[in-house]
Amino acid sequence: MDILSRKVARSFRVRRASIFASDRCSARESLARHSAMYLMHVVFGCSYTDIAERFQRHRTSVLYACRKVEDRRDDQVFDARISRLEQTLRTFRRDS
């Protein structure tokens, strides 16, 4: 989780704490949080319920976040960013 939050925060240029913050935030911070949830599900195979507990959200909020990220992957620039993060995290997961 630590590596994921560091990599996502760096990629989206947000504070790590904002990824887990429970209050409202900027659109960029929200997108970073959604992306972190998506990556937890896709790369690490975490369930929506487990992700929801970690982010102090409802399970349906995690489902919404994952769908939003998946929809944005039609944007080539965004897709490249998520693909790089996926690759980095998969490499880390394999090496650890």
Residues of the chain with pLDDT under 50: none
Integer CA distances (angstroms), 64 to 3, 21, 38, 93, in order: 23, 17, 10, 25
Domain ranges of the chain: 2-95
Residues 6+ apart with CB under 8 A from 96: none
Q: What is the pLDDT of residue 96?
A: 63
- pLDDT tens for each residue of 54-75: 999 999 999 999 999 999 999 9
Write down the pTM of the prediction.
0.93
CATH superfamily of 2-95: DnaA protein, C-terminal DNA-binding domain (1.10.1750.10)
